[in-house]
């Protein structure tokens, strides 16, 4: 079931995400993608001028919903990313969501990426050589950087720093405006300014395609996906249930049909057992 064949699809972005999303979806489904002019910065910016008020998922959904309301389209796609640190370790972490909403079929699908493939980084520098040292670690100039006076909350912010002459000019300006004789420098996480992030958006789009091609065995609707993971693989030494996943639960959002898939061998190494390896 190719529910997108020859249909017009609105892509809601102002940060050039069409470079990766458009060719993938058009190539896979034969749809016609059109880029919205909706200002998506109103939903939140990575540079903190506008704080995001809702979750990653709700923000992507709001982008699509507003984009569709302003046009004659019935299908829309939007993406939303988050950056920070892994909840269990002090390492940079990126999550990317690509959401598709079909108002005619009352269908919502999404693809997701999460991982440590990101150059997300920030620093306070007190001289230009330190600024150079920072940018050389984050893939500059292909990856842009942003500078502020003093700290991350300063209203003095310079973006689209894409060359060393611009970097030096921006550093001097922010340094001279600083009350603490220091400059806050960070990676620019807007999609068009960050090729690493753009690659992760591509991976999330590929997962969206995979979900769209997964059809419900009962009604044939796209989006038959994993909605639950059941732990309980047995320790091969003492046969005690562990926290390792033994089943995936699939469900259809259209007809609510569910199906359970068993994942191979029911036994796992004792290293995953709370009794054998407390």
Q: What is the CATH number of the domain that holds 176?
A: 3.30.1490
Query: Can you give the C-alpha Rg of the chain in angstroms?
Result: 23
Strands 92-102 and 107-115: antiparallel
Q: Which run of H or of E encompasses 132? A: helix 128-137
Query: Residue 245's pLDDT is what?
Result: 96
**Are 14 and 79 contacting, i.e. CB atoms less than 8 angstroms apart?**
no
Residue with tokens 């038959």: 224
The pTM assigned to this predicted structure is 0.91
Q: What are phi and psi of 103, to 5 degrees?
A: -70, -30
Helices (H) and strands (E) in the chain, counts: 5, 14
140 and 268 inside one domain: no
112 and 22 inside one domain: yes
The reply to whether 3 falls in a domain is no
Query: Residue 175's pLDDT is what?
Result: 98
Compute the distance between CA of residue 99 and CA of residue 60 in angstroms, rounded to an integer.
7
141 and 33 inside one domain: no
Count Cα neighbours of 201 within 13 Å in the Cβ-side half-sphere.
28
Strands 234-235 and 267-268: parallel
The reply to whether 162 falls in a domain is yes
109 and 126 inside one domain: no
Query: Residue 47's pLDDT is what?
Result: 84
20 and 128 inside one domain: no
Query: Residue 88's pLDDT is what?
Result: 80
- Classify residue 168 by its DSSP letter: H
Query: Residue 138's pLDDT is what?
Result: 97
Q: How many domains does the chain have?
A: 3
Nearest to 251 by CA among 214, 276, 277: 214
Compute the distance between CA of residue 149 and CA of residue 127 in angstroms, rounded to an integer.
12
164 and 73 inside one domain: no
Query: Residue 224's pLDDT is what?
Result: 96
Compute the distance between CA of residue 196 and CA of residue 171 in angstroms, rounded to an integer.
24
Output the CA torsion sign for 10, 250, 200, 202. negative
Burial 178-203 (b: 16+ CB within 10 A, else e): beeebbbbbbbbbbbbbebbbebbbb
94 and 14 inside one domain: yes
129 and 109 inside one domain: no
pLDDT tens-place string over residues 203-225? 999 999 999 999 999 999 999 99
The reply to whether 219 falls in a domain is no
The reply to whether 2 falls in a domain is no
The reply to whether 142 falls in a domain is yes
Q: Note down the domain range covering 181.
A: 122-188
74 and 101 inside one domain: yes
- Give the residues of the chain that fall short of pLDDT 70: none
CATH number for position 107: 3.90.950
Query: Residue 265's pLDDT is what?
Result: 86
The reply to whether 148 falls in a domain is yes
The reply to whether 277 falls in a domain is no
Query: Residue 85's pLDDT is what?
Result: 85
Compute the distance between CA of residue 119 and CA of residue 146 in angstroms, rounded to an integer.
13
171 and 203 inside one domain: no
163 and 33 inside one domain: no
The reply to whether 278 falls in a domain is no
108 and 174 inside one domain: no
């Amino acid at each position: 079931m190719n529910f997108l064949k020859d249909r017009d699809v609105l892509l809601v972005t102002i940060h050039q995400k069409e470079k990766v999303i458009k060719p993938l979806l058009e190539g896979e489904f034969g749809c016609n993608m059109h880029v919205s002019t909706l200002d998506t910065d109103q939903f939140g910016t990575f540079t903190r001028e506008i704080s995001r008020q809702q979750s990653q998922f709700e923000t992507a959904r709001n982008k699509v919903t507003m984009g569709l309301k302003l046009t004659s389209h019935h299908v829309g796609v939007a993406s939303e990313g988050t950056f920070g640190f892994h909840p269990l370790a002090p390492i940079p972490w990126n999550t990317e969501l690509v959401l598709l909403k079909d108002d005619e079929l009352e269908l919502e699908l999404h693809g997701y990426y999460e991982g440590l493939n990101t150059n997300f980084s920030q620093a306070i520098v007190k001289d230009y050589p330190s600024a150079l040292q920072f940018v050389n670690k984050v893939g500059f100039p292909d990856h842009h950087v942003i500078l502020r006076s003093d700290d991350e909350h300063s209203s003095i912010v310079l973006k689209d720093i894409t060359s060393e002459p611009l970097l030096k000019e921006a550093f001097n300006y922010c340094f001279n405006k600083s009350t603490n004789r220091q400059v806050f420098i960070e990676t620019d996480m807007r999609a068009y300014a960050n090729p690493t992030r753009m690659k992760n958006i591509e991976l999330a789009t590929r997962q969206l395609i995979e979900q769209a091609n997964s059809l419900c065995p009962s009604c044939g609707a796209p989006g038959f996906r994993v909605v639950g993971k059941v732990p309980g693989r047995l320790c091969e030494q003492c046969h005690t249930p562990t926290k390792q996943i033994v089943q995936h639960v699939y469900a259809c959002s259209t007809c609510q049909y569910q199906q359970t898939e068993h994942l191979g061998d029911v036994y796992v190494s004792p290293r995953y057992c709370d009794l054998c390896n407390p």
